[in-house]
């Protein structure tokens, strides 16, 4: 008979929720040194003002009361989330000046959370008093959860009465908080017999029979490191509108376009390397939100995401083209085809979450055995989607009209990044919209997963291709 772990209870310890399968998987990846954080950044603007400590602390007190995942920690057995009665904000917030956002993101990847401490699973870095970098443990939220945090912070900043000269550094957590249930509690994530057989075959069949011809970058390292390089590309609302207009004209989405561009760039890189001659396709993954099925809103922090798999062919032309990527009818046809493929996998991608059931809770053992094995994918495209504006006016009382002295913070540039450097894809491209209609992209590659020259070539190729589309 199965028994549940009993937790010692005292006045400061209360179980908020049981961790779901995805949550436990992310917990163990972090604890084994294989992952650190997910990051969403947002640039806050208001008449040239900057965000100082009193202002931020006052706003965070409101945000914590509205976003329960910000007020939990892991139980010692990693099976539950526990409520934190109070939160000391001082060690969670860092203010830095004269530093690049690229350097901040790379530094955050190297910092894991102390998951044994009575401390929350998130932190902030405020860059030059304007850009708030929200780094959080993947178990408390997916990529869109970072947007939910910033929407809550944005609202809270516009609710404050200014000027603010002082604020408490201790946030009191409500006595009763609830987390949104994990996706397997809200959806049918059962796995088809065909899908299960395929996974079992790939996992346990003799290597001589399963030798892949799909390139996935370097193997999973035996000594984990969360080091990863980050490069940033940002596009104004006008530039983004021009790109999206061309996508629509060719029956493609931004996701489809970015997949097609990446397939062309990585194909060019692989084809130029004689040691990679045996590979025929590129192994790719695309995370897909499950919120359309679970009902989670844009203001909800949760972990409702799955993924689909793609294997575009590696093109090996006899005569190398003059450019890495040709923006022509063939490229746009590829973008339309990949758009259709991703859309076609939305209904069945839930099965990927269901596969975790067959680990029977042994997430630690499964992850520890992965060292030295091939990575699952060479590339991942993760699109956090639109950053919906909270409204043109203050959220006080739901009124849009403001007095001349009312706060009117807005958000400009936003970025999305995620670590997962050990078991994740060798290279990554993360996309996010801005409230004003722009687009932010981060290109990443895990240390040792590909040579730095490949990562830089991927970044340069994407930058040049996007510029060609805009020209």
**pLDDT higher than 60, residue 209:** no
Q: How crowded is residue 266: how many other Cβ atoms within 10 Å of its Cβ?
A: 25
pLDDT at 205: 61
Distance, in Å, from the CA atom of 439 to the CA atom of 303, rounded to the nearest integer, reads 23
CB 68 within 8 A of CB 141: no
CB 407 within 8 A of CB 455: no
**pLDDT higher than 50, residue 3:** no
Percent of the residues in the chain that have a pLDDT greater than 90, as a whole number: 86
**pLDDT higher than 60, residue 94:** yes
Residue length of the chain: 471
Q: What is the mean pLDDT of residues 195-200?
A: 78
Tokens 């949104």 label which residue? 180
Contacts of 225 (CB under 8 A, 6+ apart): 33, 421, 422, 447, 448
**pLDDT higher than 50, residue 404:** no
Cite the residue boundaries of each domain of the chain with CATH code 3.30.559.10.
15-172
pLDDT at 319: 74
Place 414 in a pLDDT band, splitting at 50, 70 and 90. very high
pLDDT at 195: 82
Q: What predicted TM-score, i.e. pTM, was given to this entire model?
A: 0.93
Place 207 in a pLDDT band, splitting at 50, 70 and 90. low
Q: What is the mean pLDDT of residues 424-434?
A: 98
CB 309 within 8 A of CB 285: yes
For 145-182, what is each residue's pLDDT tens digit? 999 999 999 999 999 999 999 999 999 999 999 999 99
**pLDDT higher than 70, residue 468:** yes
**pLDDT higher than 50, residue 471:** yes
Distance, in Å, from the CA atom of 178 to the CA atom of 296, rounded to the nearest integer, reads 14
Distances (CA, A) of 205 to 197, 211, 222, 243: 11, 10, 22, 45
Distance, in Å, from the CA atom of 358 to the CA atom of 112, rounded to the nearest integer, reads 28
Least confident residue range of 10-19, 41-50, 187-196: 10-19
pLDDT at 12: 54
pLDDT at 402: 42
Place 196 in a pLDDT band, splitting at 50, 70 and 90. confident
Cite the residue boundaries of each domain of the chain with CATH code 3.30.559.30.
183-386+416-470
328, 333, 339, 344: CA torsion to nearest 10: -170
**pLDDT higher than 50, residue 396:** no
Three-state helix/strand/coil letters over 49-75: CCCCHHHHHHHHHHHHHHCHHHHEEEC
Superfamily (CATH) of domain 183-386+416-470: Nonribosomal peptide synthetase, condensation domain (3.30.559.30)
Q: What is the mean pLDDT of residues 129-148?
A: 98
Place 194 in a pLDDT band, splitting at 50, 70 and 90. confident
pLDDT at 61: 98
**pLDDT higher than 90, residue 211:** no
pLDDT at 199: 75
Place 391 in a pLDDT band, splitting at 50, 70 and 90. low
User: Spelled out in words, what is the top-level CATH class assigned to the domain 15-172?
Assistant: alpha beta
For 270-305, what is each residue's pLDDT tens digit? 999 999 999 999 999 999 999 999 999 999 999 999
For 297-353, what is each residue's pLDDT tens digit? 999 999 999 999 999 999 888 777 777 899 999 999 999 999 999 999 999 999 999
pLDDT at 371: 94
Place 10 in a pLDDT band, splitting at 50, 70 and 90. very low
CB 198 within 8 A of CB 36: no
What does DSSP say about strands 170-172 and 214-215: parallel, antiparallel, or unpaired?
Answer: unpaired
pLDDT at 11: 42
pLDDT at 13: 66
Place 197 in a pLDDT band, splitting at 50, 70 and 90. confident
**pLDDT higher than 90, residue 238:** yes
Average pLDDT, the chain: 92
Place 388 in a pLDDT band, splitting at 50, 70 and 90. very high
Distance, in Å, from the CA atom of 455 to the CA atom of 446, rounded to the nearest integer, reads 9
């Amino acid at each position: 008979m199965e028994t549940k772990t009993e937790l010692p209870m005292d006045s400061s310890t209360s179980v908020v929720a049981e961790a779901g399968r995805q949550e436990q998987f992310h917990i163990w990846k972090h604890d084994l040194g294989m992952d650190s954080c997910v990051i969403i950044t947002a640039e806050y603007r208001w008449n040239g003002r900057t965000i100082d400590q009193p202002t931020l602390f006052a706003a965070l007190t409101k945000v914590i009361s509205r976003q329960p995942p910000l007020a939990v920690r892991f139980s010692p057995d990693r099976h539950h989330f526990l409520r934190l009665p109070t939160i000391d904000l001082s060690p969670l917030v860092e203010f830095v000046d004269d530093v690049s956002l690229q350097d901040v993101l790379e530094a955050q990847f190297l910092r894991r959370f102390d998951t044994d401490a009575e401390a929350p699973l998130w932190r902030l870095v405020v860059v030059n008093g304007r850009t708030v970098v929200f780094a959080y443990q993947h178990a408390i939220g997916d990529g869109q959860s970072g947007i939910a945090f910033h929407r809550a912070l944005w609202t809270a900043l516009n609710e404050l009465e200014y000027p603010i000269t002082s604020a408490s550094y201790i946030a009191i957590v409500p006595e009763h908080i609830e987390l949104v249930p994990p996706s397997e509690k809200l959806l049918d994530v059962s796995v088809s017999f065909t899908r299960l057989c395929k996974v079992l075959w790939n996992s346990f069949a003799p290597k001589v029979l399963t030798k892949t011809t799909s390139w996935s970058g370097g193997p999973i390292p035996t000594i984990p490191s969360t080091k990863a390089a980050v490069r940033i590309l940002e596009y104004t609302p006008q530039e983004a509108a021009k790109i999206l207009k061309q996508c629509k004209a060719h029956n493609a989405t931004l996701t489809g376009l970015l997949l097609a561009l990446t397939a062309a760039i990585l194909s060019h890189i692989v084809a130029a390397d004689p040691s990679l001659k045996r590979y025929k396709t590129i192994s790719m993954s695309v995370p897909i939100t499950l919120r359309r099925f679970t009902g989670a809103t844009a203001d909800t922090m949760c972990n409702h995401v799955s993924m689909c798999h793609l294997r575009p062919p590696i093109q090996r032309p006899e005569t190398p083209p003059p450019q890495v990527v040709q923006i022509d009818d063939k490229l746009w046809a590829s973008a339309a085809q990949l758009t259709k493929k991703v859309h076609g996998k939305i209904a069945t991608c839930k099965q990927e979450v269901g596969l975790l059931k067959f680990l029977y809770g042994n997430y630690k053992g499964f992850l520890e055995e992965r060292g030295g094995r091939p990575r699952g994918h060479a590339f991942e495209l993760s699109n956090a989607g639109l950053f919906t504006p909270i409204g043109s006016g203050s959220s006080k009382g739901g009124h849009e009209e403001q007095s001349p002295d009312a706060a009117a913070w807005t958000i400009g540039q936003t970025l999305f990044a995620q670590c997962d450097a050990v078991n994740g894809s060798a290279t990554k491209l993360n996309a996010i919209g801005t409230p004003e209609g722009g687009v932010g992209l981060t290109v990443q590659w895990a240390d040792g997963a590909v040579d730095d020259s490949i990562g830089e070539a991927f970044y340069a190729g994407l930058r040049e291709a996007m510029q060609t589309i805009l020209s």
